Structure 1
Amino acid sequence: MKSIEEQASFTQNLAWWEHVQDIIPNGCSTLAKTPERLFPGHMPVCCAEALNARFIDIDGNQWLDCEMAMGTAVWGHARKEIQSAAIQQLSKGTSFSIPSDIELTCGELILERFEGKYSALRFCKSGADAVSGAVRLARAYSHKPIVIATAYHGWHDWSAYGYYGQQADALGIPPEIEKSTVWIGEPTVDRITEVVHQHADKAACIVLCPNEWERDTLFEVVNVCRSNGILVIFDEVTSGIRMGKKATAGEFDIWPDLLCISKGMANGFPLGAVLGNEDLMNLCGQVKFSNAHSSETIALAAAIACEQLMKSAPVWPSWRGATEEVMSELQDELVALNLTGVLALKGTYASFCIRSTAERDFYRDPFREFMVKELASHGIFSKGFFIFSDSHTRIEIMWVKETLKQILRAWPRYQ
């Protein structure tokens, strides 16, 4: 294994990338991981193994991971307590012909973490399934057809047409989907209020990503929707566990009718959940919210281990203080370098990025390309977002900060 200080070689990475495209479209079945978003030859495109906050690519190069499996590995790669729980459960079986007691145990622990805000939940296997399931529950409960969507909520028809530019035909989505989903590309209180008043008699629910809002503004939006009989769904698939033990909803003390969580709840094992109260959740059977693998036991065992780790954590997320310090210093650096009109620091301690203010498409951003290539030359892996974990040390987080400062200072000369 090479040290991260050595010059990386990408021979095997490049050979793999050339071959995989013939077998797996985009090079990966998860689009967010596709090498098409990377820069082959400058950074790794294929991982061999990972431990804690590091991974090794197929050329043997070691990297500090600032992506952490799209934020799912909140406890670090191959965390021993979680791996042990999964292995122990594996010896007992992975999926049964009748329910397993482990599903109840896991469900009770999750509901306990939310301290009585919800009384029931439904497990599933992905964030997209969780949010789509919540939408179906809202429609069945309200007997109204329209959904108001405001952000990326997964690849399913009802939301993807709007997020991906409303080109329904090109996405294989019937154009008629627009009649059942109202897409708000740049949501504001005024815009949402306008849409709510226009569709109140037919709108079942609104789906919001609360971590993308300021608390007071979110509170106003939620009140507008509720006063017009529209159910509120929080899509905390990405933010969830990364914002706090009770997600953004708990951080803000603003509770939706249905809360959707997924990434991180089982540290990379596939699991999602919808939380709500009995009047809504009792409709799960009626709306056929189900999947053959929703009650698979390995992910549930991993989730139980995660819940136990979180319960014993004195501060969660453990990286919050260090990340807020980093973001504060980076913002000061942008001001000092007179770059605030050109670059913007976006996000929270859960996940943040630095991006060009003039480029709407993040993956076409020239600053992103410059930044991730420069980071790679220092042995740091990122696609442009910075997502830390419980396994990142303060030294590692500060190393990222100092490297980013160097990159910001070099950017004006690069242009």
Structure 2
Amino acid sequence: MTGQASKAAYAKAQQVLVGGVNSPVRAFRAVGGTPYFAARGEGPYLYDIDGNRYIDYLMSWGPLIWGHAHPDIVQAVTETATKGTSFGVPTELETEMAETICRFVPSVEKVRMVNSGTEATMSAIRLARAATGRQYIVKFVGCYHGHADSFLVKAGSGVAALGLPDSPGVPQTTAERTLTVPYNDEVALRALFAERGSEIAAVIVEPVAGNMGCVRPRPGYLEAVRNIANEHGALLIFDEVITGFRLGLGGAQERFGVKADLTTFGKVIGAGLPVGAYGGRRDLMQMIAPEGPVYQGGTLSGNPLAMAAGLTSLRMLEEAAKRGIYEQMEAYGKRLVDTFCDLGKKYGIPTTGDAIGGMFGLFFHEGPVVDFATASASNQSLYARFFHGMLAEGVAFAPAQLESGFMSCVHGESEIEQTIAAMERVMASLSQG
């Protein structure tokens, strides 16, 4: 149960913050109860203001791939901050970051830094429309690409957690220019392009869906999306805000061998600090101002604190990849998922899940989860009980079943064993009603 200090903090926050939070999913509406308030983090652990310690699998919704307060990253931020936090003119750190991204993701030849994943996807769509002269975009039901108007149409993640399939305030004309099909459904995508292909500027996809839980693409699906876009002269945008540098140094494009025309990245390139980026083919990126006519700017874009933290993190990842860190994270995630499913069988509770790279998903559902419809059919009230049970055991998962969990490089054997032991106790209690 959430402690008294967190309850008091939440009551106070509700007086001056909308819903007491600055992002809706933090309000615990999908699982009920009161959110715990963080005091500090260290490695794989998060400590709340009541003094409770949790093994953290939220990891700030993914970007903390080196866990909380890694000493090397803290040192990089501290040293950089003493020189200044923002300048409004270029720094060499921005160039180093862009060079690193281009080296890791070969389809990216030029980069533009922004301040969030939402800015990155919004800007990539604007560029795609300008490059093709077309107005329509295609997104997949349940995929979340930020809170720009074009994307709040059949979005997953926090929108679904609040029971809002669409958001008021999105102009009808904007919604009409966003076409949707189910994720992992090649037939539906082909049918849509057969009807509207000449009007479609781009198709944007989370290559592994992370905002309806963790749902991987069916074999050959991403290749099919690539081919369909090519056949109709549309651009392919990979939203790698979650998968970037989590499935491997080259993200989903390295993992699945499919190249996108444009790619978006999020806070993982800032080791959790506010930052985003988009990049892609040179001819496309050269359409962005000041080289071209498509405007996009930002005073804090590429700010030195985020660049220093992100460069430190990515350099550490490059070295750790040689020692099998990605394989280790995936193996740990798979152990959690396998244990969860085995316990479901043991106690007669429908369970399924998946793990890939540093992502994993747990569903109270019988049969595979392959799209938003099957993810939404999962027993979310049972997940809420599971979530609170695990929290009481000192293990923090995402406060919504339609979110991915995240492994970090600093989760180890001890944390996995503690999590598995806690899972056994909680699943046993769920079986008793």
Same fold (TM over 0.5): yes
For 1:371, which of 380, 386, 403 is the aligned residue? 386
- 1:306 offset after TM fit, Å? 1.0
Structure-2 residue corresponding to 1:4: none
Structure-1 residue corresponding to 2:410: 391
Opposite residue 119 of structure 1, the aligned amino acid is E
- 1:363 offset after TM fit, Å? 10
- 1:229 offset after TM fit, Å? 1.1
Opposite residue 359 of structure 2, the aligned amino acid is S
TM-score by length of 2: 0.86
- The answer to whether the Cα contact below 8 Å between 2:334 and 2:354 also exists between their aligned partners in 1 is no
The SS at the match of 1:200 is: helix
Structure-2 residue corresponding to 1:105: 96
Structure-1 residue corresponding to 2:338: 328
For 2:227, which of 208, 211, 223 is the aligned residue? 223
- Cα distance in structure 1, aligned partners of 2:378 and 2:90: 43
Aligned pairs for 1:128-143 (under 5 A) are 128-143=118-133
Structure-1 residue corresponding to 2:107: 117
Opposite residue 315 of structure 1, the aligned amino acid is G
The SS at the match of 2:294 is: coil
Structure-2 residue corresponding to 1:87: 78
- Cα distance in structure 2, aligned partners of 1:270 and 1:363: 32
- The answer to whether the Cα contact below 8 Å between 2:46 and 2:54 also exists between their aligned partners in 1 is yes
The SS at the match of 2:220 is: helix
For 1:31, which of 13, 20, 24 is the aligned residue? 24
- CA distance 1:35–1:16, shift in 2 (3 Å): farther
- The answer to whether the Cα contact below 8 Å between 1:355 and 1:367 also exists between their aligned partners in 2 is no
**Which residues of structure 2 form unaligned runs of 5+?**
210-216, 367-373
The SS at the match of 2:113 is: strand
The SS at the match of 1:201 is: helix
- The answer to whether the Cα contact below 8 Å between 2:182 and 2:188 also exists between their aligned partners in 1 is no
Structure-2 residue corresponding to 1:13: 6
Per-residue CA shift, 1:229-253, capped at 9, x if unaligned?
Answer: 1110011111212211111111111
Opposite residue 306 of structure 1, the aligned amino acid is S
Moved more, 137-146 or 58-67: 58-67
- For these two proteins, the number of residue pairs brought into alignment is 402
- 1:336 offset after TM fit, Å? 4.7
- The answer to whether the Cα contact below 8 Å between 2:47 and 2:53 also exists between their aligned partners in 1 is yes
- Cα distance in structure 2, aligned partners of 1:332 and 1:170: 38
Structure-1 residue corresponding to 2:194: 197
Structure-2 residue corresponding to 1:159: 151
- The answer to whether the Cα contact below 8 Å between 1:244 and 1:316 also exists between their aligned partners in 2 is no
- The answer to whether the Cα contact below 8 Å between 1:147 and 1:182 also exists between their aligned partners in 2 is yes
Per-residue CA shift, 1:67-108, capped at 9, x if unaligned?
Answer: 111111110111111111111111111222321111111111
- 1:34 offset after TM fit, Å? 2.7
- 1:409 offset after TM fit, Å? 3.6
- 1:395 offset after TM fit, Å? 1.5
- 1:362 offset after TM fit, Å? 8.4
- Cα distance in structure 2, aligned partners of 1:361 and 1:153: 18
Structure-1 residue corresponding to 2:171: 174
- The answer to whether the Cα contact below 8 Å between 2:347 and 2:431 also exists between their aligned partners in 1 is no
Per-residue CA shift, 1:292-314, capped at 9, x if unaligned?
Answer: 11121110111110121012112
- 1:331 offset after TM fit, Å? 3.1
Structure-1 residue corresponding to 2:43: 52
Moved more, 101-110 or 397-406: 397-406
- Cα distance in structure 2, aligned partners of 1:187 and 1:9: 38
- Cα distance in structure 2, aligned partners of 1:9 and 1:205: 44
TM-score by length of 1: 0.90
Structure-2 residue corresponding to 1:316: 325
Opposite residue 418 of structure 2, the aligned amino acid is W
Opposite residue 350 of structure 1, the aligned amino acid is G
- The answer to whether the Cα contact below 8 Å between 1:244 and 1:250 also exists between their aligned partners in 2 is yes
- Cα distance in structure 1, aligned partners of 2:146 and 2:227: 25
Opposite residue 293 of structure 1, the aligned amino acid is L
**Which residues of structure 1 form unaligned runs of 5+?**
1-7
- CA distance 1:169–1:397, shift in 2 (3 Å): closer
Structure-1 residue corresponding to 2:274: 270
Opposite residue 4 of structure 2, the aligned amino acid is T
Opposite residue 289 of structure 1, the aligned amino acid is Q
Per-residue CA shift, 1:316-352, capped at 9, x if unaligned?
Answer: 324222222332343344345454xx33324534322
- 1:170 offset after TM fit, Å? 5.1
Runs of 4+ in 1 over 6 A off after TM superposition: 165-169
- CA distance 1:388–1:133, shift in 2 (3 Å): same
Opposite residue 85 of structure 2, the aligned amino acid is T
Structure-2 residue corresponding to 1:302: 309
